[in-house]
């Protein structure tokens, strides 16, 4: 039998992206000891490192700006559903975090006059988005934070540790259970405060910008621990996702920053501009928000005017080679290695699953309704409403991560060490032991094959354009997979780096997340922002409400409630 | 037709010869035929092998073809490369764990900082 690794700390932070690393830093500067875990590698796994360019903060360096203007743009883009207090926290907190990162050696791109460069991303009323050249914003932020967490002896870092459950006692979080990916040994971590910064669920879609680890586990774990979700039906499909020709060595999101810097013409399969037919003003500068652009591209392809791979063309052929080189630097060489010459050919783009607006419902302390359980970053729902602005994900990770770490540390100090409940933790430990080797050699599907089925299903039935019929079908199949598919899956008995075991637990939590998304989408009988129903194409005032989901006696229960307007301001 | 359903070019086939085992002495090579399209990476091939033939093949990766996480470093035909950007080609391609680090299993080596381990 595998020996259980037992650990204890004040604040456990799960997820080693920007939000999790910042939470760990903030927890220890507020007097706590922290353990920071990541399923892959701290500072390298997760979505933050993949962010290429825009990070919004009203610094006012490029032109006069104010966090209240940033807030107004964020609320406008959120189509009436933002939690205004959370959105305000994001916008008001962003400049301080950007300055702090600057002090930690993040090399923000600067103009000749020494001021930080800020670009105007779609939906922003000001030049507001800072970045690091070339297309390295996320990598630079992660490198700085990784350096910061690794120099603090009060932060214990554990890479290759997968979290499977938050352990509760009398409805309060008291720690967590997981396992060591390197050895399959179960792990129990006692902690009076737990911060989940595990990202979203975009891995569950076939076409995705997600790294290999965002399977919605945070959503599933939080639900099972008793937390509520908010507005999970809003999942952003990034309009200019790379489609063809095959390109490796660069994230498929690369075309939006390129458009922000250079313009770039979107053309249908006939070589015609089409955005003016969907409400964008004439001209090549790019201002359409992501939800509207995804709609335009989808409808153009659906009308039979798509490119050869059923997307649309994006052309930079009108831009000279020297301007391309100045804007893209070494990235041009990556295009070249993929036989892409932007001066001679357009590329094909199509929407791609990118970001989860909804998530765990939190207050402005990043606290869920479960005492001791916090959420931050993409996993925390509410700030972005029905549609997120380009550039708001990184400040959200930084601001909410910092906030969660501080508040979790203070909570842990007040609470001291809660009594551990072995009877709550042991079933989860036993499950880890039981799943390794289950049905091995009996011909059942592997977790990775099951995951592939889920991705196919989510892409085709729970994509940007939805109907009750498709959503019902998806929901029923997801339930069946969760109830029977997981039990039938064949899991390798290997101890060392057993990816099947990792994927089985991704599915255990991720299928619950996917089911919650399908159900939320089914319940919202209107079209708004990133949630478009072909059978309910209009936005309805009746649905200017947040949808909350909880897990009660094993069943997902939904309710619609009025939006949290600015209570604190 | 939906996006991404249509193959970009006719399918070709590569044969990946992969080190399987828990050390450099204790193991063997196994060979897998992998269909691919022009432009696909070695990592694409490895993910396909896990999906269709050998789910317990051990590899490290996170960011998937974006070349930022740098986890998928391995020896490809004797050269240290990232599997996510090395392209598949018809014929035999040999994959070994990176040299100078202890092998944990298959293509996974003990590459993490020991301060991030137990």
Q: What is the tens place of the pLDDT at every residue in A335-364?
A: 999 999 999 999 999 999 999 999 999 999
Domain spans of chain B?
12-109
Residue with tokens 């969760």: A482
Could you tell me the pLDDT band of residue A285, with boundaries at 50, 70 and 90?
A: low
CB pair distance less than 8 Å for A211 and B51: no
Mean pLDDT of B96-115: 96
Confidence at residue A350, expressed as pLDDT on a 0 to 100 scale: 97
In chain A, residues 475-504 whose CB comes closer than 8 Å to chain B: 490, 492, 494, 496-500
pLDDT of residue A418: 83
Region A425-451: mean pLDDT is 96
A157 neighbors A149 (Cβ within 8 angstroms): yes
Which band of pLDDT confidence, cut at 50, 70 and 90, is reported for residue A489?
very high
- Which two three-digit tokens encode residue A553? 């006696």
User: Mind telling me how many Å the CA of B94 is from chain A's nearest CA?
Assistant: 20
H/E run at residue A71: helix A67-77
Residue-level pLDDT at A284: 47
The rounded mean pLDDT for chain A is 95
How far is A211 from A45, CA to CA, in rounded Å? 7
8 Å CB contact between A523 and A196: no
Question: Would you call B62 and A246 a contact, using CB atoms and an 8 Å cutoff?
Answer: no
Q: Is A439 on the interface with B (CB under 8 A)?
A: no
Q: Which residues in chain B belong to E strands, given as ranges?
A: 12-21, 27-36, 73-76, 79-82, 91-96, 103-105, 108-109
Segment A72-102, tens digit of pLDDT: 999 999 999 999 999 999 999 999 999 999 9
Determine, for residues A500 and B85 on separate chains, whether the beta-carbon distance falls below 8 Å.
no
CB atoms within 10 A of CB A505: 26
Residue numbers in A near B50 (CB within 8 A): 446, 448, 499
Q: Has domain B12-109 been given CATH number 3.10.20.30?
A: yes
The answer for residues whose C-beta is within 8 angstroms of residue A200's C-beta and 6 or more apart is A47, A210, A214, A216, A218, A219, A235, A355, A356, A359, A378, A379
The nearest alpha carbon in chain A to B2 belongs to A310
Tell me the mean pLDDT in the region A416-420. Answer: 83
B117 touches chain A (CB under 8 A): yes
Mean pLDDT of A378-383: 98
Is residue A74 a contact partner of residue A91, using CB atoms and an 8 Å limit? yes
All structural domains of chain A with their residue ranges = 5-236+355-415, 240-350
> Model confidence over A154-197: pLDDT tens digits?
999 999 999 999 999 999 999 999 999 999 999 999 999 999 99
B86: closest CA of chain A, how far (Å): 9
Q: Which of A130, A80, A141 is nearest to A108 (CA)?
A: A130
pLDDT, average across residues A452-480: 97
Interchain contact A49–B (C-beta under 8 A): yes
Q: What is the pLDDT of residue B3?
A: 46
Please state, in angstroms and rounded to a whole number, the distance separating the CA atoms of residues A13 and A24: 6
Q: Which residues of B touch A500 (CB under 8 A)?
A: 55-56
In this structure, are strands A545-552 and A555-562 parallel, antiparallel, or unpaired?
antiparallel
Q: In which residue are the tokens 């020494």 written?
A: A114
Residues of chain A found within 8 Å of residue B118, distances taken between Cβ atoms: 5, 158, 180
Q: Quick one: which of B24, B25, B28, B46 has its CA closest to B36?
A: B46
End-to-end CA gap in chain A: 56
B66 CB neighbours in chain A (<8 A) are 50, 211, 249-252
Question: Per-residue pLDDT for A504 more than 90?
Answer: yes
Each residue of B69-97: pLDDT tens digit? 999 999 999 999 999 999 999 999 999 99
- Topology alike, domains A5-236+355-415 and A240-350: no
* Option in B2, B6, B112 nearest A41 (CB): B112
Q: Do B62 and A42 touch (CB under 8 A)?
A: no
Is the pLDDT at A37 greater than 80, yes or no?
yes
Cβ of A500 within 8 Å of Cβ of B56? The answer is: yes
Q: Which residues of B touch A246 (CB under 8 A)?
A: 8, 37-40
Distance CA A197, CA A375 (A): 6
B51 min Cα distance to partner chain A (Å): 5
Q: What is the pLDDT of residue A279?
A: 77
Contacts of B112 in chain A (CB under 8 A): 41, 159-160
Q: Which residues contact A508 (CB under 8 A, 6 or more apart)?
A: A164, A220, A482, A486
- Residues of chain A positioned with their CB less than 8 A from the CB of B74: none
Instruction: Establish if A336 touches chain B: CB-CB under 8 angstroms.
Output: no
Residues 6 or more apart whose CB falls under 8 angstroms from that of A143 comprise A43
For domain A5-236+355-415, give the CATH number. Answer: 3.50.50.60
Q: How confident is the model at residue A1 (pLDDT cuts 50, 70, 90)?
A: low
Q: Which residues in chain A touch residue B61, judged by CB atoms under 8 angstroms apart?
A: 212
How many angstroms from the chain centroid is the CA of residue A519?
19
Bigger pLDDT: A236 or A260? A236
Domain range A240-350, CATH class:
alpha beta
Indicate whether A123 pLDDT > 80. Answer: yes
Mean pLDDT of A434-449: 95
Q: What are phi and psi of A4, to 5 degrees?
A: -85, 130
Chain A to chain B Cβ contacts (< 8 Å): 149
Q: Which of A44, A206, A499 sits opposite B62 (nearest CB)?
A: A44
| Digit-coded pLDDT (tens) for B108-117 | 999 999 999 9
Q: Does A561 touch chain B (CB under 8 A)?
A: no
User: Distance, in angstroms, between A559 CA and closest chain B CA?
Assistant: 34
Q: What residue in A sits closest to B108 (Cα-Cα)?
A: A497
The interface residues of chain B toward chain A in range 33-72, judged by CB-CB distance below 8 A, are 37-41, 44, 50-52, 55-71
Distance CA A236, CA A396 (A): 15
């Amino acid at each position: 039998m595998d020996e259980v690794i037992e650990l204890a700390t004040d604040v456990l932070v799960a997820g080693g992206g920007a939000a999790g690393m910042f939470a760990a830093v903030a927890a220890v500067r507020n007097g706590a000891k922290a353990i920071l875990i990541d399923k892959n590698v701290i500072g390298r796994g997760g979505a933050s490192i993949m962010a290429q360019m825009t990070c919004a903060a009203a610094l006012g360096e490029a032109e006069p700006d104010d966090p209240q203007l940033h807030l107004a743009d964020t609320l406008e883009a959120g189509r009436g559903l933002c939690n205004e207090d959370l959105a305000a926290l994001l916008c008001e907190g962003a400049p301080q975090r950007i300055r702090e990162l600057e002090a930690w050696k993040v090399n923000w791109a600067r103009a000749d006059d020494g001021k930080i460069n800020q670009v105007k991303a779609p939906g922003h009323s000001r030049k507001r988005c800072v970045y690091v050249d070339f297309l390295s914003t996320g990598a630079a932020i992660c490198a700085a934070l990784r350096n910061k967490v690794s120099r603090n002896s009060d932060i214990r870092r554990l890479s290759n540790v997968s979290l499977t459950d938050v352990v509760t006692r009398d409805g309060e979080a008291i720690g967590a259970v997981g396992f060591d990916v390197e050895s399959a040994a179960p792990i129990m971590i006692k902690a009076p405060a737990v911060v989940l910064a595990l990202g979203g669920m975009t891995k569950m879609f076939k076409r995705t910008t997600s790294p290999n680890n965002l399977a919605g586990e945070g959503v599933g774990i939080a639900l099972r621990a008793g937390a509520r979700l908010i507005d999970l039906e809003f999942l952003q499909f990034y309009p200019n996702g790379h489609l063809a020709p095959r390109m490796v060595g660069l994230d498929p999101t690369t075309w939006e920053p390129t458009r922000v810097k250079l313009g770039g013409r979107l053309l249908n399969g006939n070589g015609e501009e089409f955005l003016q037919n969907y409400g964008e003003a004439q001209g090549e500068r790019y201002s359409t928000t992501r939800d509207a652009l995804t709609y335009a591209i989808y409808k153009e392809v659906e009308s039979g005017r798509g490119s050869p791979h059923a997307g649309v063309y994006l052309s930079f052929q009108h831009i000279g080679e020297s301007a391309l080189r100045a804007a893209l630097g070494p990235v041009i060489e990556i295009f070249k290695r993929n036989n892409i010459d932007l001066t001679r050919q357009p590329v094909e783009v199509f929407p791609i699953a990118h970001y989860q607006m909804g998530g765990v419902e939190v207050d402005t302390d990043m606290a869920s309704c479960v005492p001791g359980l916090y959420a931050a970053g993409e996993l925390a729902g509410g700030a972005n409403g029905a549609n997120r602005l380009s550039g708001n994900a990184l400040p959200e990770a930084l601001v909410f991560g910092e906030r969660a770490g501080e508040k979790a540390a203070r909570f842990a100090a007040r609470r001291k060490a809660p009594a551990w409940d072995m009877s709550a933790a042991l079933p989860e430990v036993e499950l880890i032991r039981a799943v390794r080797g289950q049905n091995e050699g009996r011909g059942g599907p592997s977790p990775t094959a099951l995951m592939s089925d889920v991705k196919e299903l989510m892409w085709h039935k729970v994509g940007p354009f939805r109907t009750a019929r498709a959503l019902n079908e998806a929901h029923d199949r997801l339930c069946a997979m969760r109830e029977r598919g997981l039990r039938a899956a064949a899991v390798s008995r290997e101890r060392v780096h057993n990816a099947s075991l990792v994927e089985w637990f991704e599915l255990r939590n991720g299928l619950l997340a996917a089911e919650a998304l399908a159900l939320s989408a089914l319940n919202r009988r209107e079209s708004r922002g990133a949630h478009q129903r072909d059978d309910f194409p209009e936005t309805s005032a009746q649905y200017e409400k947040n949808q909350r989901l909880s897990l009660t006696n094993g069943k997902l229960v939904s309710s619609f409630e009025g939006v949290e307007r600015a209570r604190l301001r | 037709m939906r996006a991404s359903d249509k193959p970009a070019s006719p399918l070709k086939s590569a044969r990946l010869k992969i080190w399987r085992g828990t050390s450099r002495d204790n193991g063997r090579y196994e060979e897998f035929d992998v269909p691919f399209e022009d432009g696909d990476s070695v990592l694409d091939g490895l993910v396909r092998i896990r999906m269709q033939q050998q789910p317990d093949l051990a590899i490290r990766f996170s960011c998937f073809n974006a070349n930022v996480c740098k986890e998928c470093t391995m020896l490809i035909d004797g050269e240290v490369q990232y599997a996510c950007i090395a392209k598949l080609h018809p014929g035999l391609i040999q994959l070994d764990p990176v040299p100078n680090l202890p092998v944990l299993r298959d293509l996974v080596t003990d590459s993490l900082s020991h301060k991030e381990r137990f």
